[in-house]
Structure 1
Amino acid sequence: MNVVVFSGTTEGRELSRQLAALGIEVTVSVATPLGQEEQGCTPGVTVRCGRLLPDEMAALLGDAALCIDATHPYAVEATKNIKAAAEKAGVGYLRLLRPASPLPENCLVFESAKQAAEALAAKEGNLLLATGAKELAQFAAVPPERLYPRVLPTLESIAACEAANIPHRNIIAMQGPFSFALNQAMMEQFHIRWLVTKDGGAAGGFDEKAAAASAAGAQLVVIRRPPEQGETASEVLKRCKEMIR
């Protein structure tokens, strides 16, 4: 039995290893070399690296018994394409959900990065952007010298920062998730007034970011998670066990 997992996330990696341990042949599709590096090598797991078009996703699914979408909760377009590819290939589709975090009462919540940027442009103080390099363009309304984007340590991420005219001294290129202490130290080092983040759940280090913002005297700003339906890791694993019986 072959299962294709579209991943690049902590929960996707964990699930792929659990499936392989059951004797299932697993193909994991990741978009970047960093995702491949994080996935590592596991017996029974084949990694396919590179961004795929919808038709290429359908071709990868081929005669797979199941398609599992374990992409990031905010990767709305990717989920849309994966779901369509599974339908085209005639393969069953499951969406692996990442549990959301309870949001602190005093945090500011916005529907999009652009809305958050527009609100913060009129404020004062530095912003630590923990929203990813792809969202940088949405913060064009804020003077770039106020922005401290924390992005993945890849050429693509650095190029996005340069395209947004971020001063090089402001770029924080590191692989997370980060501890409470490191988050707090960064905010104090760069005199951060606003921490802008997505609700990445426990896997994305949300609790550590929220606690550190409070300790550093910074305002937590959250981009609301897109609504979606799916199944927990234990539910997906149970479905797969039933299929191999």
Structure 2
Amino acid sequence: MTLLVLAGTREGREIAAGLAARRLPVLASLAGRTRRPLDPGVPVRTGGFGGEEGFRAALRDHGITAVIDATHPFAEHITARTARICREDGVPYLLVLRPGWTPGPGDDWTRIAREAELAQHVPRGATVFLATGPQRLAAFAGLDGRRVLCRRIDPAPGPFPFEQGQWVVSRPPFTLADETALLSLMGVDVLATKDSGGEDGRAKLDAARALGVKVVLLDRPPPPEGARVVETVEAALQWAEGL
């Protein structure tokens, strides 16, 4: 029995390490989008699978008997494809989906369903910080007349695609002090982020509250229909032990 963990998140790394500690054969898969990914401490394959047939071939070649999907809550395409292939091929599949964030006293949050809705909540002349990653930057249409900042982990391969914008290159984790200093220094009026959940990204929301910065939160996509979903690392490990 070998379990494939689609990792890259903190939960993915902790699940991979927990499986290894329980002496369960495990292979972690990382997307390879960052140049220096954190090491989960188990055998790792890096990069895409080469489409649907490539993923099926990887399941066969590595003798995968179950898949734990601990990708980012917004990895909609890979999650949907993985769940479908596992269902069709009879491979047990588990989705680890950490709880989303909820506002507290002093928070000024607005939720949106699609990136293009952001422009409705950012006044012209304002500075908006996209803590959403660069992958879908083009989807934030209609932000002309605003100063746009976007954070990324690795140096950008080219200039910023918006006329009034710049990259903010930095690598997590970010402390509350880090995020407060950044929002203040850059004069951020609106913080836009995905509802990723988890403690790793919470500091920017706490910084926004402290500074009175408005937050626009992009709702996460729904999980695949019929998929088994758990919220914690421990629940995922219990599921694996019960196979």
TM-score tier by shorter-chain length is 0.7 to 0.9
Give, in whole Å, the separation in 2 of the partners of 1:35 and 1:19. 25
Length, aligned pairs only = 233
Structure having the higher helix fraction is 1
TM-score by length of 2: 0.87
Contact in 1 for aligned 2:130/2:148 (Cα 8 Å): yes
Question: What's the secondary structure of 1:108's corresponding residue?
Answer: strand
- Correspondence list, 1:1-245, <5 A: 1-32=1-32, 34=34, 37-40=37-40, 42=41, 45-52=42-49, 53-62=51-60, 63-104=63-104, 106-116=108-118, 118-120=119-121, 122-143=123-144, 146-154=147-155, 158-159=156-157, 162=159, 164-165=161-162, 170-206=166-202, 208-228=203-223, 230-232=229-231, 233-243=233-243
Question: What's the secondary structure of 2:207's corresponding residue?
Answer: helix
Question: What's the secondary structure of 2:234's corresponding residue?
Answer: helix
TM-score by length of 1: 0.86
Letter in 2 for 1:219: K
Give, in whole Å, the separation in 2 of the partners of 1:111 and 1:186. 26
Contact in 2 for aligned 1:74/1:225 (Cα 8 Å): yes
Give, in whole Å, the separation in 2 of the partners of 1:35 and 1:15. 22
Greater relative contact order (CA < 8 Å, ≥ 6 in sequence): 2
Letter in 1 for 2:80: K
Q: Structure 1 residue 33: deviation in Å? A: 5.7
* Structure 2: runs of 5+ lacking an equivalent: none
Contact in 2 for aligned 1:210/1:220 (Cα 8 Å): yes
Q: Structure 1 residue 147: deviation in Å? A: 0.6
Q: Structure 1 residue 231: deviation in Å? A: 1.1
1:66-122 alpha-carbon deviations (Å, 9 max, x no partner): 111111101111101111232344311111111222134531111121111x31454
